């Protein structure tokens, strides 16, 4: 811009504004041209920009999750195939004008996950069948009762059944599983009874409607399950695994961030805040988990999951994960607190706290492996024992604190320079207020360990319900192969059967 002005060499009026910038005064005729130009530009570019942005977003989404784009293609393909019912003469004659219902079924029933598609297919078929039969019955009664009563009977039955079915959609058990079926029930019942008054070929109509729906649903089921199927169950499983990983990362990130030195802060270039915020995904995934668990129940055996895989247990794991995430949320606020504990106190507790958080996150990571491999972990009880041991260590180092709490000597603290020396001497006897964020952090870490154990219990229940096999870690495998030291494996097995308290005592007093 500045260059162009120099070339044109026009006279310019500048106003120097107090904040240091300067505005150029543009002559009025130029302003008008500019305004018109801007208006035209806005008029032309506005919609183009909006469409461009929309397409850009869509492209990004498609690149990030190609499954969604594939789903679009699958729907297009299904509709294309259904259209053949119109194009091909023999098919057309067979199913008649009602082939429209096949198109409609495909559009309405085809959902992105297999579970949702199956659920809708089931609901649509059963809803249509039940409502159709009932409507035929009502029609028969209405026919027998003479022309005066016919519309009254039909009207009352439509009113009553539609009201009842609509109300039933609010009942939780119906809502989660048969909401769509109830809607289809009302739709079919109304259409069949009301058309029955006009259309004489009622049976034929009901038959055609059912057969077209059968064609539509079977096509949908075939395509959704054969071409790149998207399983709600696998999705739920992956979501839980991902969230477990995020929890472990958040915990590591938060505690590491709090206890790390300024030197480490400079060395570590990667922004840890994103990693620390992972727990927020856990907080917000309740609704998704519930929807997916509901849909997964409709799905047949797929991949490594059986038909009756205990999907409900995933909700319990999710709940226990959220309980852990609440604590990490509170922990996060401790870390960002304005009041900070004195450095020497932080150092005193740094090691044990880091140990506890590492042990807790190791338990979570072991659970991730358990979930990923669908095998019972042989190490988990050991890790939980270690975690509990770390809790004990934290408590011990707190108990040993009152001695140093009264005031440490400056010499033991290795003050880096003279400026800090004075500060340390001053904060040597800290008020409780200064200790409190740290106290809260320690308390929350202990609470998080307890809640991580809760997650481990929930995963263990899942392992029991889904009959996970026992995993053998690499060490055990090798040892078993060489047959050098089988006692270790026996120890592991024995450890697993011991109640946790005994394990904990063993750890504490024998160091195993």
Residues 77-96 within binding reach of a copy of itself (CB under 8 A): 77, 79-80, 82-83, 86-87, 92
d(CA 108, CA 188): 15
Q: How far is the CB of 195 from a copy of itself (least distance, A)?
A: 7
Using CB under 8 A, which residues numbered 101 to 130 contact a copy of itself? 103-104, 107-108, 110, 112
For residue 380, give the H/E element and its range.
helix 380-399
Selected from 52, 140, 149, 170, the binder of a copy of itself by CB under 8 A is: 170
Residue span binding a copy of itself (CB under 8 A) among the ranges 149-157, 253-261, 353-361, 488-496:
149-157
Using CB under 8 A, which residues numbered 43 to 62 contact a copy of itself? 54, 57-58, 61-62
Selected from 137, 151, 300, 303, the binder of a copy of itself by CB under 8 A is: 151
Comparison of 447 and 457: residue with beta carbon closer to a copy of itself: 447
Q: How far is the CB of 312 from a copy of itself (least distance, A)?
A: 17
Q: How far is the CB of 265 from a copy of itself (least distance, A)?
A: 24
Residue span binding a copy of itself (CB under 8 A) among the ranges 162-170, 266-274, 411-419, 469-477:
162-170
- Whether 383 and 284 have beta carbons less than 8 Å apart is answered as no
State whether residue 447 is helix, strand or coil.
Answer: helix
Residue span binding a copy of itself (CB under 8 A) among the ranges 73-81, 255-263, 412-420, 496-504:
73-81
- Our CA dihedral for 186, 188, 194, 198, rounded to 10 degrees, sits at 180
Tokens of 116: 């949702």
Residue span binding a copy of itself (CB under 8 A) among the ranges 76-84, 263-271, 359-367, 379-387:
76-84
By the rule CB under 8 A, 277 interacts with a copy of itself: no
d(CA 382, CA 503): 8
Comparison of 71 and 492: residue with beta carbon closer to a copy of itself: 71
Q: How far is the CB of 258 from a copy of itself (least distance, A)?
A: 14
Using CB under 8 A, which residues numbered 289 to 348 contact a copy of itself? 322-323, 326-327, 329-330, 333-334, 337
Comparison of 83 and 375: residue with beta carbon closer to a copy of itself: 83
Comparison of 54 and 307: residue with beta carbon closer to a copy of itself: 54
- Whether 57 and 64 have beta carbons less than 8 Å apart is answered as no
- Whether 360 and 251 have beta carbons less than 8 Å apart is answered as yes
d(CA 451, CA 323): 7
Comparison of 108 and 126: residue with beta carbon closer to a copy of itself: 108
Comparison of 114 and 371: residue with beta carbon closer to a copy of itself: 114
Using CB under 8 A, which residues numbered 185 to 204 contact a copy of itself? 186-187, 190-191, 194-195, 197-198
By the rule CB under 8 A, 436 interacts with a copy of itself: yes
Sign of CA dihedral 191, 194, 199, 203: positive
Using CB atoms within 10 Å of the CB of residue 405, give its burial: 0 to 12 exposed, 13 to 18 middle, 19+ buried: middle
Q: How far is the CB of 388 from a copy of itself (least distance, A)?
A: 14
Selected from 201, 286, 304, 308, the binder of a copy of itself by CB under 8 A is: 286
Comparison of 295 and 382: residue with beta carbon closer to a copy of itself: 295
The count of chain residues that interact with a copy of itself, using the rule CB under 8 A, is 86
Beta bridge partners of 302: 305
Residue 158: CB atoms within 10 A of its CB come to 17
List, as own/partner pairs, every contact residues 462-468 make where C-beta atoms lie below 8 angstroms and the sequence separation is at least 24, other chains included. 462/310, 462/313, 462/314, 462/317, 463/370, 463/376, 465/310, 465/313, 466/306, 466/309, 466/310, 466/313, 466/374, 468/370, 468/374, 468/375, 468/376
Cβ within 8 Å of residue 312, ≥6 positions away: 293
Tokens of 365: 């990571």
């Amino acid at each position: 811009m500045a260059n162009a002005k120099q070339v044109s060499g026009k006279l310019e009026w500048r106003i120097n504004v107090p904040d240091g910038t300067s505005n150029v005064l543009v002559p009025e005729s130029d302003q008008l041209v500019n305004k018109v130009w801007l208006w035209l530009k806005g008029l032309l570019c506005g919609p183009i920009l909006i469409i461009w942005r929309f397409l850009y977003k869509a492209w990004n989404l498609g690149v990030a999750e190609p499954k969604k784009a594939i789903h679009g293609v699958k729907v297009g393909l299904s509709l294309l195939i259904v259209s053949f019912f119109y194009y091909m003469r023999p098919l057309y004659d067979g199913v008649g004008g009602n082939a429209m219902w096949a198109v409609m079924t495909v559009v309405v029933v085809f959902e992105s996950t297999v579970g949702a598609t199956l659920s809708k297919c089931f609901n649509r078929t059963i809803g249509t069948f039940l409502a159709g039969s009932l409507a035929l019955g009502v029609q028969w009664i209405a026919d027998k009762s003479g022309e005066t009563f016919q519309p009254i009977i039909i009207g009352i039955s439509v009113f009553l059944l539609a009201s009842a079915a609509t109300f039933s959609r609010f009942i939780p058990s119906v809502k989660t599983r048969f909401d769509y079926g109830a809607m289809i029930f009302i739709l079919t019942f109304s259409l069949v009874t009301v058309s029955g008054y006009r259309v004489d070929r009622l049976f034929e109509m009901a038959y055609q409607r059912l057969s077209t729906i059968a064609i539509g649903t079977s096509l949908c089921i075939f395509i959704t399950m054969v071409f790149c199927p998207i399983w709600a169950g696998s999705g739920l499983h992956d979501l839980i695994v991902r969230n477990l990983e995020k929890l472990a990362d958040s915990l590591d990130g938060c505690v590491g961030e709090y206890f790390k030195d300024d030197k480490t802060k400079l060395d570590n270039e990667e922004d840890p805040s994103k990693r620390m915020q992972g727990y927020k995904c856990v907080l917000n995934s309740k609704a998704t988990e519930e929807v997916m668990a509901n849909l997964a129940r409709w799905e047949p055996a797929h991949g490594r999951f059986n038909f009756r895989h205990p999907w409900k247990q995933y909700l319990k794991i999710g709940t226990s994960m959220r309980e852990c995430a609440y604590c990490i949320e509170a922990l996060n606020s401790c870390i960002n607190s304005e009041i900070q504990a004195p450095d020497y106190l932080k150092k005193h507790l740094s090691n044990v706290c880091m140990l506890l958080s590492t042990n807790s996150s190791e338990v979570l990571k072991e659970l991730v492996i358990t979930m990923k491999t669908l095998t019972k972990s042989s190490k988990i009880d050991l890790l939980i024992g270690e975690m509990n041991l770390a809790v004990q260590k934290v408590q011990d180092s707190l108990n040993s604190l009152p001695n140093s709490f009264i005031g440490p000597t400056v010499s033991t603290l290795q003050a880096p320079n003279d400026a800090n020396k004075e500060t340390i001497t001053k904060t040597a006897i800290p008020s409780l207020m200064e200790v409190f964020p740290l106290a809260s952090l320690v308390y929350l870490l202990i609470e998080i360990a307890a809640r991580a154990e809760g997650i481990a219990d929930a995963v263990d229940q899942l392992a029991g319900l889904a009959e996970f096999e026992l995993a053998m870690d690499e060490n055990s495998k090798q040892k078993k192969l060489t047959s050098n030291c089988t006692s270790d494996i026996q120890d592991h097995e024995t450890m697993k059967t011991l109640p946790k308290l005994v394990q904990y005592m063993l750890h504490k007093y024998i160091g195993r």
